[in-house]
Amino acid sequence: MRKDPARLEFEIQARDGSARTGLIRCGHGEIATPAFIPLATKASVRSLSAGEVAELGYVLVLGNAFHLHLSPGEDRIAAHGGLHGFMGWDRAIITDSGGFQVFSLAHGGVADEIKGRRGEGEGRAKVEISERGVAFQSLLDGSDRFIGPEESMAIQAKLGSDIALVFDECTPYHADRDYTARAMERTHRWLARCLQWHEREGPPGQAVFGIVQGGVHEELRREAAQKVGEAAVDGIAIGGTLGRDKPEMAEVLALTAPLLPADAPVHLLGIGEVDDLMRAIPLGMDVFDCAVPTRLARHGVALAPEPEGRFRIDLAKQRFADDDGPLAEGCPCEACRRHSRAYIHYLARARELTGARLLTLHNLTYMERLMAGAREAISAGGYGAYASAVLAGAAPWAAPVAATGAAAGPRPNEG
């Protein structure tokens, strides 16, 4: 691990078991951890302005080097003040390297996302992996493109993010152990190239996070954790497939977390469901990004303290047509303060943009309060009770944060 305060500092402030609160200090401010990171994949948290995202309490968003490289291009963004200036965001930004997107192209998910398709068949793209990097065909204009370790770091340098992720090969769950091992070893060689490029040409204030791969295989995760932990990185991300289901993911995270440097900030990539976060925080995870809260909002789904429904309710269902209650009782977001489930049901069924916007405000408020409650509970030594209450169906703003037997009870709604 590298210690360079000019790039990034991480201070652990409180512990409750392995759960911890901390401060990540970087070029554009401080991030209190544990924290959820909204996705600004294409320089936008969809349906919200940068100012609105800040008003919800967020201080860190995630942009994606792959998507921004394809359009509008890193040179254009750089000419407009980097990603901060381009999107009008004066707080911290982390950028994904694009590795996940490049290696997902042939499976259709990213192809559909790029082209704006909504479920009318799978996309396919020609992808050729070599030691040098990955050649692929742009699904925007059909042009031949190439991204390798140096290219990914150069894109992120021009974007001007506070934290850049190294370029890695993200293997799918169905890959066998031998392929996963070869991909992990190539990822480690790419890690060295990313760091060499960044040392020569990277912005002096930009931090770099390495990525621990290895699939579901304990010995590979162990090897990856050692390799990345010994590299000159400023933080560590956990990536790659974490298993076929939640129990296997929990096993992989439980075996990986203790292998990481104790003083490193840890980013769990692509995980953001309520129950997953409540179970990852006590393993010592610090920051999380995920498309789920905003994607659900665009499909008429609200986060809610309803564990039997996977902490979500589908407002398009007919049973909400005459429901005058809020999305979640006590939630301070605009959707819950001003509107009913019936109104948002109507908007969702009519596919009105206002519905997606209100649900995005609600879902991101829910996630912000979930993390704020976790930080408060850890500081008070009561994380176990807090997580148990949330998982049992307590709203984040109502769950107890004090240790068992302490005088403090549920927090008042902060409005």
pLDDT score at 196: 98
Taken in order 77, 81, 82, 88, the sign of the CA dihedral is negative
Return residue ranges of the chain for CATH 3.20.20.105: 9-290
Which residue is it, tokens 């509008």?
A: 72
pLDDT score at 415: 39
Query: Could you confirm whether 96 is annotated as catalytic?
Result: yes
pLDDT score at 404: 67
Catalytic residue among 162, 168, 276, 289: 289
List, for residues 10-61, the tens digit of each pLDDT value.
999 999 999 999 999 999 999 999 999 999 999 999 999 999 999 999 999 9
Nearest to 94 by CA among 34, 5, 152, 26: 26
Which homologous superfamily does the CATH classification assign to the domain defined by 9-290? Queuine tRNA-ribosyltransferase-like (3.20.20.105)
Distance, C-alpha 250 to centroid of its chain: 17
Query: Could you confirm whether 162 is annotated as catalytic?
Result: no
List, for residues 205-214, the tens digit of each pLDDT value.
999 999 999 9
Token pair of 197 as six digits: 């490029």
pLDDT score at 113: 38
**Is 32:375 a contact under the CB 8 Å cutoff?**
yes
pLDDT score at 108: 47
pLDDT score at 70: 94
**285 Cβ contact partners less than 8 Å away, ≥ 6 residues apart:** 34, 238, 253, 257, 266, 267, 268
Catalytic residue among 96, 162, 168, 234: 96
**Residues of the chain predicted below pLDDT 70:** 106-125, 404-415
List, for residues 224-265, the tens digit of each pLDDT value.
999 999 999 999 999 988 998 999 999 999 999 999 999 999
Token pair of 291 as six digits: 């498309």
